[in-house]
Amino acid sequence: MTLKPWRSDAVRSDAVRSAMAPLLAAHRSACPAGDEAELLRGYEVAERLHRGQLRKSGAPYITHPLAVAIILAGMGLDSTTLLAALLHDTVEDTPYTIGEVRADFGEEVAVLVDGVTKLDGGKWGERAEAETLRKIVLSAAADLRVLVIKLADRLHNLRTLGYQPPHKQARYAEASLELLVPFAERLGIHVLKREMDDLAFAAREPEQYAAAARALRSALSGTGAAFGPTLARLRAALAEQRIRGRIEIRPRHVYAVHRERDGDVAGLRPNEAARLLLLVDGDDQDCYIALGAVHAALHPVQGRVKDFIALPKANLYQSLHTRVISTDGDLFDVIIRSRAMHPVAEYGIVAHIRDAGNGVATADTVAGRRDLVWLSRLLAWQSDVPSAEFLAGLRADLASGNVAVFTTAGEVVTLPAGATALDFAYALATETGDRSIGALVNGRLAALSAEMRSGNVVEILTDPDSVPSADWLRFAVTAPARVHIQQWLARQRAEEAAVAGRRRLVLALAGREVDLLAAEAHGDSLAVARDLGYTEPDEMYAALTLGSVGLDDLLSRFTRA
């Protein structure tokens, strides 16, 4: 059912343009040279395919892909991404096929649409969710825009989650916080993460969300008076140092306030509900001069200065964070960054895609990027585990919080909170993990179970004769480490079972005057194994130990051979 370029009358054309007006306006603002004609064609195709389908709200289904495309247009993404967003549910929910997408809109759009298309639950059953996520991860490795579209798709579904029954709302919100929000964090797309945080929190814990939202609104209503004197002192200090820029009061989002205060939001004050953001007109050095000016104007809190310019976060976020005490004794959090840093701090990988053009999202251009090391590690272990273990490993791998640990050469290794020296060893290299026997943490001897802290300088001690131990699973945290240890132990058990099974078969065949070694040399053992469905004789011997194959059956087969 290949769909050719649309030809409609003036009324139909006006209706399409009217529906597309917000998307086209947003896209025109960010991408003046965008392909509006192709977007209009894509919308017309998607609307025709989804015609008659309704959302839970009762709205025509086309409102969803259009909303997803508008979210992406607001982030400044290219025409190809927006076109894929308009078509992203056609293959999943209509008779339209990927082949037809390719024929109508080209290979690039087809790759993006295919990447975000869910697997058929009827065919995959309970494995569908895990395998769909695995498919998205693999597709994102080829083009990161797949994951960006998926995040925008999830954001709009969260916005309209109120039309679902309460139990579905809670389950969907939980999955979002566990799996999709962390992807937004890893990609540095904080504009999506903040809203997804709040919407998922509202659906999962509506009463606690309402309490936190009320407290935040009340506190923010007093920011003018509370922040006024502090703003005046900071502006004067910056002017004295000839630092130009803009200071703005930046409200915190609801979920961040709730989590930081562990749900106790009573008495939330204006200085706790917002932070000060200083956008400097200048370079890195000007940001440090601005930090000095802030500290000259207001007393800094010891130990609360964080330098993410010299040491960017894993997602390449750069800013200076400090906490200061006002003349009235109130604590204020201040963030300092240059205007050049601001787009990356807000949009993460999207800012890089937007600035460098469509091609920056592809596999060749992202290879080796420090902010995508996590994706490389995920790709390295995901193919070796079944669906349920993949989902559990993905949750652990994406768990909130991370620590930045240094090698002795000064390289940064980012690990999830709670990771140990053993996880650090496996993050360096699989062989390093396998051979590890201990660690030097900041020059002091430490066990492999020692928990890593940000700023630790770690050297792994190895022994060429060391091998993984089952005990390591008690303190290995990261999925790559756990998966490799489990696989090594499984191979070891299989080898031991094969040795034991072969020894048993040797003795039994000897009683019948059959030499197993000679049978192996002549290929008889391999023939018997293949006849039983095993690739190699060792698999058959292990099956004998495990009881999957009977000894009498093997004896009769070998004596016949």
For residue 360, being part of any structural domain is answered with no
Task: State whether 82 and 142 are in the same domain.
Answer: yes
Tell me the one-letter amino acid at 462: T
Residues 6+ apart with CB under 8 A from 51: 60, 62
Are 266 and 403 part of one and the same domain?
A: no
In a domain, 362, yes or no: no
Kindly state whether residue 247 falls inside one of the protein's structural domains: yes
End position of a domain, from candidates 477, 494, 518: 477
Q: For residue 454, what is the domain's CATH number? A: 3.10.20.30
What crossing angle do the helices spanning 79-87 and 98-105 adopt, rounded to 10°? 140
pLDDT at 231: 93
Distance CA 391, CA 387 (A): 6
Cβ 398 vs Cβ 179: under 8 Å: yes
From 436, 459, 477, give the residue that closes a domain. 477
What CATH number is attached to the domain comprising 214?
3.30.460.10
Q: For residues 480 and 475, give the distance between their C-alpha atoms in angstroms, rounded to a whole number.
A: 13
The predicted structure's pLDDT at residue 315: 84
- Mutual orientation of helices 524-531 and 551-560 as an angle, nearest 10°? 130
Among the options 14, 92, 281, 520, which is catalytic?
92
Q: What is the pLDDT of residue 87?
A: 96
344 and 383 both lie in a single domain? no
Q: What is the pTM of this model?
A: 0.81
Which one of 35, 36, 93, 346 is the catalytic residue?
Answer: 93
pLDDT of residue 122: 56
How many distinct structural domains can be found in the chain? 4
Determine the pLDDT at residue 125. 65
Q: Examine the fold and report which residue of 443, 477, 511 is the final residue of a domain before the chain moves on.
A: 477
Q: What is the mean pLDDT of each run of 10 residues along the chain (561 residues)?
A: 51 80 92 91 94 91 95 93 95 93 93 85 67 84 89 94 88 89 90 95 93 94 90 93 94 94 91 95 95 94 92 88 92 95 92 69 55 76 75 76 84 85 92 94 94 92 92 90 89 89 89 86 88 88 88 85 59
92 tagged catalytic: yes
Considering all CA atoms of the chain, what is the largest pairwise distance in Å, rounded to the nearest integer?
A: 99
Sign of the C-alpha dihedral computed for residues 327, 329, 332 and 336 taken in this order: positive
Please confirm, yes or no, whether 384 is among the known catalytic residues: no
Domain that holds residue 531: 486-559
If asked whether residues 215 and 287 sit together in one domain, one would say: yes
**Residue 126, pLDDT score:** 66
Three-state DSSP at 4 gives: coil
Instruction: Give the chain's length.
Output: 561
Q: Name the DSSP letter for residue 386.
A: -
Q: What DSSP state is assigned to residue 474?
A: G
